[in-house]
Amino acid sequence: MPTTTGVTPSPRPATDRVQIFQVSTLYGAATAAAAIDAGQFDAPGTARRVLLVSNNAEIPETAVRLETMTGYERIAARFDQVVDWNEAVHPHHPSSWAPRPEEAPLWQRVLRTAWDLGTAPVELVVESIQVHPAKALAAVFAESPVHVYADGLMSYGPTRDELPQSVACRIRRVLHLDLVPGLRPLLLTEYGVGAELVDDDAFRSVLREIAEASRDSAEDAALTAAAAAAPTALLLGQYLAVLGILTGEEEEELHVRMLRGAAAAGHRSVVFKPHPTAPASYSTALHEEAARTGVTLTVLDGPLLAETFYERCRPELVVGCFSTAMLTAAVYYGVPVARVGTDMVLGRLTPYENSNRVPLTVVGHVVPDLEGDTAPTVPGAAPEGLAPLVRAVGYCMRPTAHPGMREEAAGYVAEHAGEPGLDLHFPAERLAELELRALTRA
């Protein structure tokens, strides 16, 4: 399989070990790169490193490709080889394809030949082990140890689905960013997998590297123009309509509320960073609101990480719904953050097990509401009440995975009964289904 166009691989090390790093987002790739730089995957040259790129969008052909993102080549330069998972499984979709059990050994031989792996032992470094393509990789390389890196706030929630024991027993650790200092991930703990922090300085260095790459990119003019407008606030768009959480009109209004709140807080120059797949009409509505409120609006819609903007033009405020980029702004750049619509989205989230529930819970607990009475702030260490809340929500999401947390969850619900917002986290129907309401009343 050919090396990805535009990337010059490093000289191949003389080693009999192979590490395959599966990535689908630039943020995730940056996390993996930071772990490598921090020495969490051994010294350079001790293993041949393969970057496996996957595009998991619903229609990959129409989505922004990772290889086109500004800074991607800087990340890819850390690897000895770059291969494409979509090409490997074509014409199947990477989010749905998996080998039949009896075909897995054959697929391993095919991929070893295509990627020139020979007979070397393979280690897997994957994101979201509970879904494809990570699950499919683990099935193909059935004897390989697995390392999981967490791409954002979902690591603080429970494992989405039960894993085959043949996979779970091979997972060595969960590598994660310290996005909420002091809060420990719940992900994969039911299998006894420990968490390991990715070094803060290493991650910040990678983000700085990506931002430097933007100076030589096609997006440099857009960033320069955005900086010239002297913006003081950045609004983060999310594409919640495609997830069926909000309608397109509701999500458009959510972005307008972000702008309105920033204007009310005194920000006269604002940048909007839309989700790459968001409709152009979102920006149109924002421009109309900006004209009405007298705010200068710049839309930054190129293939850029929001963190690139943090490096190039340090804002005084970052606003979002529950985007990981909000916490990145606070933790790694010291930028005050505020949320809009988080409670509304949490109330709409179905089913209860939806893996966005814990990110919404975390953001709702530690980030001030822009439309409320609390000023934007830089959240510090996890407040005392956050971990018990997250654990109780995690239990209610996956009770069979964490039966030992039942009493703890019941105690939390009983202790906070009647408090505003409790039903948002623990709807009566869910408590009744788990027989927790009766237990808490006893």
Which of these ranges, 4-13, 32-41, 350-359, 418-427, has the smallest mean pLDDT? Answer: 4-13
Which of these ranges, 5-19, 148-162, 344-358, has the smallest mean pLDDT? Answer: 5-19
Residue 5: inside a domain? no
Which of these ranges, 192-206, 257-271, 426-440, has the smallest mean pLDDT? Answer: 426-440
Contact partners, residue 146, CB within 8 Å, separation at least 6: 123, 124, 125, 126, 129, 138, 167, 170, 171, 172
Same domain, 248 and 109: no
More confident residue, 38 or 65: 38
Domain boundary among 169, 203, 237: 203
Residue 111: inside a domain? yes
Residue 12 pLDDT greater than 60, yes or no: no
Nearest to 339 by CA among 249, 250, 238, 204: 238
CA angle 340, 344, 349 (to 5 degrees): 125
Residue 64 pLDDT greater than 90, yes or no: no
Tell me what the mean pLDDT of segment 11-39 comes to. 87
Same domain, 132 and 265: no
What's the pTM?
Answer: 0.92
Same domain, 164 and 264: no
Residue 324: inside a domain? yes
Tell me what the mean pLDDT of segment 102-125 comes to. 97
Measured CA to CA, the distance from residue 173 to residue 409 in angstroms comes to 26
Residue type, 360: L
Q: Is 263 helix (H, G, I), strand (E, B) or coil?
A: helix
Same domain, 58 and 142: yes
- Categorize the per-residue pLDDT at 228 as very low, low, confident or very high, splitting at 50, 70 and 90: confident
Residue 26: inside a domain? yes
Residue 338: inside a domain? yes
Measured CA to CA, the distance from residue 138 to residue 285 in angstroms comes to 44
Question: Tens digit of pLDDT for each residue in 369-428?
Answer: 999 999 999 999 999 999 999 999 999 999 999 999 999 999 999 999 989 889 999 999
Tell me what the mean pLDDT of segment 167-193 comes to. 97
Same domain, 390 and 438: yes
The span from the first CA to the last CA of the chain, in angstroms, equals: 63
Same domain, 57 and 22: yes
Measured CA to CA, the distance from residue 76 to residue 4 in angstroms comes to 9
Do 238 and 282 meet the contact criterion of CB atoms below 8 Å apart?
no
Provide the pLDDT for residue 280.
Answer: 62
Same domain, 40 and 159: yes
Residue 95: inside a domain? yes
Residue 219 pLDDT greater than 60, yes or no: yes
Measured CA to CA, the distance from residue 199 to residue 299 in angstroms comes to 32
C-beta atoms surrounding 2 within 10 Å: 9
Same domain, 230 and 162: no
- Categorize the per-residue pLDDT at 304 as very low, low, confident or very high, splitting at 50, 70 and 90: confident
Residue 58: inside a domain? yes
User: b vs e for 146-167, b when ≥16 Cβ sit within 10 Å of the residue's Cβ?
Assistant: bbbbbbbbbbbbbbbeebeeeb
Same domain, 199 and 238: no
Provide the pLDDT for residue 278.
Answer: 64
Provide the pLDDT for residue 1.
Answer: 38
Contact partners, residue 205, CB within 8 Å, separation at least 6: 34, 37
Provide the pLDDT for residue 63.
Answer: 72
Provide the pLDDT for residue 5.
Answer: 42
Same domain, 278 and 388: yes
Structure-block tokens of residue 405? 């947390």
Same domain, 28 and 120: yes
Q: What is the DSSP string of 331-388?
A: HHH---EEESSHHHHHHH--STT-TTHHHHHHHHHHS-BTTSSSPPB---SPPTTHHH
Domain boundary among 142, 171, 203: 203
Question: Tens digit of pLDDT for each residue in 259-297?
Answer: 999 999 999 999 999 876 666 666 788 999 999 999 999
User: b vs e for 55-73, b when ≥16 Cβ sit within 10 Å of the residue's Cβ?
Assistant: bbbeeeeeeebbbebbbbb
Provide the pLDDT for residue 6.
Answer: 44
Domain boundary among 153, 176, 203: 203
Do 174 and 31 meet the contact criterion of CB atoms below 8 Å apart?
no
Same domain, 280 and 380: yes
Measured CA to CA, the distance from residue 240 to residue 238 in angstroms comes to 6
Provide the pLDDT for residue 3.
Answer: 44
Do 53 and 84 meet the contact criterion of CB atoms below 8 Å apart?
yes
> Could you list the residue range(s) of the whole structural domain that residue 414 is in?
219-442
Residue 13: inside a domain? no
Q: What CATH number does the domain containing 75 carry?
A: 3.40.50
Number of domains in the chain: 2
- Categorize the per-residue pLDDT at 11 as very low, low, confident or very high, splitting at 50, 70 and 90: very low
If you average pLDDT over every residue of the chain, what do you get?
91
Q: What is the DSSP string of 124-140?
A: EEES-TTSTTHHHHHHH
